[in-house]
């Protein structure tokens, strides 16, 4: 006998989503992404995470570069900054330095991050700027219609590499670990509930958090990072994975054929703002010293 399930009515589902409050973080602009694009899961995950964490819209700034991923700030009802291609991190660092109370979320694609913007990542990570970097990795330039990117796999055939991509892809997780990112994790658009949890964890982390999100480009990639391929490839990190063990994190990050989902590494250390506070305190102390001596 077939398993009879309770019917799910769209009307009830919509009421449930409206009542949850998470739509309050969505703007009136409907996303312009292609139907099925993994980025819808990220948009859902961000709104769910912000709602669950009770962070007010006015306290959030979303910063993006250029690309399909970078259209993100238009679709969230928070402050937003659609910057230049590859220049998200200097802008986000400036925002955070100007107002440390803001929750700053940086979004961008693999091209925006690791091609034109690649020089900025190590510095934001090593300085431990207290921001969250959500990296939407579809292994392709989506907006400009399907060129290879720094994370495209070797042998990937696209409209602009008809004889197959001859370059080796970067390994962003290993890079971010070695750059000194104080929180590194990976999620997959095809597992939206886990993705929302990971976004919440990344935002909660005090310091630079890097979440690598595997996200299919359904329009320009029919062979490589597709849902059917990724569904077969992804796995959870081992239950006993120690998130304070850098070498264990590196080993997991090196396993690219079966990408692991979860928190690879986390550590607590002073942020850039903590360092500035310390400098201000010491500089004021020094300024007071000679002046105080002269007055005696
Ligand atoms: C300075 C500059 N160089 C190049 C471009 C063209 N361009 C726009 S988006 C993009 C790459 C987009 O790929 P990715 O960052 O992976 O984002 P996706 O569209 O895949 O989300 C490029 C090369 C540009 N807009 N500005
Ligand atoms: S082109 Fe690709 S990345 Fe861009 S919206 Fe469409 S499916 Fe998404
Ligand atoms: Mg891309």
* CATH code of residue 143: 3.40.50.970
3-state secondary structure (DSSP) of residue 164: coil
292 found inside a domain: no
Residue 80 in contact with ligand 1 by CB distance below 6 A: no
Q: How far is the CA of 290 from the centre of ligand 1 (A)?
A: 54
Q: Is 94 exposed, middle or buried (0-12, 13-18, 19+ CB in 10 A)?
A: middle
Average pLDDT of span 232-260: 98
Among the residues of 112-160, which ranges form H helices?
121-126
82 found inside a domain: yes
Count the Cβ atoms, other than its own, within 10 Å of residue 99. Answer: 11
Pocket test for ligand 2, best of 69, 143, 149 (most atoms within 8 A of CB): 143
3-state secondary structure (DSSP) of residue 216: coil
Of the candidates 217, 180, 211, 181, the residue with the CA atom closest to the CA atom of residue 197: 211
Helix (H) / strand (E) containing 254: helix 246-254
250 found inside a domain: yes
Average pLDDT of span 184-204: 98
Q: Are 158 and 220 in contact (CB under 8 A)?
A: yes
Count the Cβ atoms, other than its own, within 10 Å of residue 233. Answer: 14
Say what the pLDDT of residue 287 is.
55
**Domain, as residue range, for 130:** 10-269
Q: How far is the CA of 50 from the centre of ligand 3 (A)?
A: 24
Residue 129 in contact with ligand 2 by CB distance below 6 A: no
- The total number of structural domains in the chain stands at 1
Gyration radius (Cα) of the chain, Å: 21
Average pLDDT of span 147-154: 97
Pocket test for ligand 1, best of 41, 86, 144, 216 (most atoms within 8 A of CB): 144
Residue whose Cα lies nearest atom 2 of ligand 2: it is 217
Say what the pLDDT of residue 293 is.
44
170 found inside a domain: yes
What are 151's two structure tokens?
Answer: 């994370």
Instruction: Give the number of whichever ligand sits closest to the CA of residue 70.
Output: 1
Of the candidates 64, 70, 77, the residue with the CA atom closest to the CA atom of residue 105: 64
The model's pLDDT over 230-240, given as tens digits with 9 standing for 90+, comes to 999 999 999 99
Instruction: Give the number of whichever ligand sits closest to the CA of residue 87.
Output: 1
Res. 7 pLDDT band, cuts 50 70 90: confident
Placement of tokens 């250390």 in the chain: 269
Cα–Cα distance measured from residue 228 to residue 169, given in angstroms and rounded to the nearest whole number: 21
Question: Pairing mode, if any, of strands 60-64 and 103-109?
Answer: parallel
What are 31's two structure tokens?
Answer: 């996303």
């Amino acid at each position: 006998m077939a398993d009879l399930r309770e019917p799910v009515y769209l009307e009830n589902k919509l009421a449930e989503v409206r009542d949850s409050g998470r739509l309050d973080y969505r703007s009136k602009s409907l996303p312009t992404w292609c139907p099925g694009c993994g980025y819808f899961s990220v948009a859902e995950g961000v709104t769910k995470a912000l709602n669950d964490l009770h962070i007010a819209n006015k306290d959030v700034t979303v910063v993006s570069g250029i690309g399909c991923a970078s259209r993100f700030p238009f679709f969230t009802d928070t402050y937003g900054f659609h910057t230049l291609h590859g220049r998200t991190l200097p802008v986000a660092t400036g925002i955070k330095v100007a107002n440390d109370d803001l929750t700053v979320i940086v979004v961008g694609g693999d091209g925006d991050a690791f091609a034109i913007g690649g020089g900025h990542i190590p510095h934001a990570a090593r300085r431990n700027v207290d921001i969250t970097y959500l990296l939407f990795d579809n292994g392709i330039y989506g907006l400009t219609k399907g060129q290879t990117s720094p994370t495209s796999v070797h042998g990937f055939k696209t409209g602009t590499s008809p004889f197959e991509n001859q370059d080796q892809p970067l390994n962003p997780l290993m890079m971010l670990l070695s750059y000194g990112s104080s929180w590194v994790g990976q999620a997959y658009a095809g597992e939206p509930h886990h993705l929302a949890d990971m976004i919440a964890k990344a935002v909660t982390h005090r310091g630079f958090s890097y979440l690598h999100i595997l996200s299919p480009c359904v329009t320009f990639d029919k062979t490589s990072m597709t849902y059917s391929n990724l569904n077969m490839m992804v796995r959870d990190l081992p239950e006993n994975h120690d998130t304070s063990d850098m070498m264990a994190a590196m080993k997991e990050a090196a396993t690219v054929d079966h990408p692991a989902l979860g928190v690879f590494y986390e550590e607590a250390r002073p942020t850039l703002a903590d360092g500035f506070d310390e400098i201000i305190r010491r500089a004021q102390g020094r300024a007071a010293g000679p002046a105080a001596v002269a007055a005696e």
